Structure 1
Amino acid sequence: MIKVINFQNDYSLKELFDLQRASYLVEAELINFFEIPPLKESLQDLKESGETFIGYFENSELTGAISYTIQEQVVTICRMVVHPNHFRKGIAQKLLTYVEKNHSDLPIFNVSTGKENTPAKNLYLKNGFQVTGDIEVVPGLFISHFEKRKEEMQ
């Protein structure tokens, strides 16, 4: 089941916080960079992120989540996390599809991921996102930026 995560519920916030840590630790290993901002944030930072969080639940267990913001008709996917015990079950695909369908009226979707995060890059490329560039954010760490325009979504 896919639904909005309610941050008024402390249990839901903690569950998301723990899920995010488990998922981003895997990405940190893939890209060999352990200073990923979500790994350094507190529960309060997460709660105050200003992002909309959608969760994927299996038997009431949060197994994946996606977050995004909307500014000036652009959806920016901020986070995509799946618990390592639930990799390769299509959860990220379902979450991405959910956000795209629920905001199909908006013309542009953006997302970024570590250049060495092949699973994430393949997900976005498979879904019609195009690489718009790679940026070195700290010495030796590159982030790949992707964009999908409405005309490409149809």
Structure 2
Amino acid sequence: MIIKIDVTNQKIAEEVLSVQLASYKVEAELIDCYDIPPLRDTVSTLQRCGETFYGYYVDGELGGVISVKIEGDIIDIHRLMVHPKHFRKGIAKRLLDFIESHGEGDETLIVSTGSKNTPAISFYKKSGFVKMGEVKVKEGLSITSFEKKRKRNYR
């Protein structure tokens, strides 16, 4: 079940941070860089980030999270994370589909990930995203950005 969650709530922020740290530790290993912003977050920084969060619950437990910021017709996916014990259950796809299905018009979805994170890159390409560019952040760390334009069917 996917529901909007309020990270200003201490308990929910703690649950989100727990999923985030577990998920991004896997990404850090994949890209061989452990100094990435999601691993430096705290409950407090999550609570102040200004993103809208949605959680995917598995038997009452937070198993995955997606967060977005919407500006005009741009839906910026800031975080898409699944707890490692729930990998390969289709949770990331369900969260992404949820965000896509709740748009209000012609929108562009944007997202970025570590350039060496081949599972995420494959996931976004398979989901219809197109690579827009790659930026070197520092030695050994590059970020690849993607976008997906979509049109809503108006009835």
Q: Output the TM-score relative to the length of structure 2.
A: 0.94
5+ residue gaps, structure 1, are none
Q: Give distance in 1, aligned partners of 2:56 and 2:9.
A: 16
2:8 aligned with 1:3, yes or no?
A: no
What is the identity, as a one-letter code, of the residue corresponding to 1:142? S
* 2:50 alignment partner, SS class: coil
Aligned length: 153
Q: Is the 8 A contact 1:115 1:142 kept in 2?
A: yes
The alignment partner of 1:4 has SS state of strand
Secondary structure at 2:144 match in 1: strand
| Partner AA of 1:5 in structure 2 | I
Q: Are the equivalent residues in 2 in contact too, given 1:74–1:106 (CA < 8 A)? A: no
Match of 1:68 in 2: 68
The residue type equivalent to 1:108 in the other structure is: T
Residue equivalent to 1:86: 86
Distance 1:30 1:81, change over 3 A: same
What amino acid is the match of 1:16? V
The answer for the alignment partner of 2:113 in structure 1 is 113
Give the whole-Å Cα distance in 1 for the aligned partners of 2:106 and 2:93.
Answer: 19
1:21-100 equivalences under 5 Å are 21-100=21-100
Q: Could you tell me how far 1:37 is from its partner in structure 2?
A: 0.5
Check the 8 A contact 1:75/1:106 in 2, yes or no: no
1:40-89 deviation line (CA, Å, top 9, x unaligned): 02211011100011100011100000111011210000001100001000
Q: CA deviation at 1:150?
A: 1.8
Q: Look up the equivalent residue of 1:98 and give its one-letter code.
A: F
4+ aligned runs moved over 3 Å, structure 1: none
Contact preservation (8 Å) 2:2, 2:56: yes
Q: Identity of paired residues, percent?
A: 44
Q: Which runs of 5+ in 2 are unaligned?
A: none
In terms of mean alpha carbon deviation, does 98-107 or 35-44 score higher?
98-107
* Secondary structure of the corresponding residue to residue 105 of structure 2: coil
Q: Secondary structure at the match of 1:148?
A: strand
Counterpart amino acid of 1:109?
A: L
TM-score when normalising by structure 1 = 0.94
Q: Displacement of 1:11 after TM fit? A: 1.3
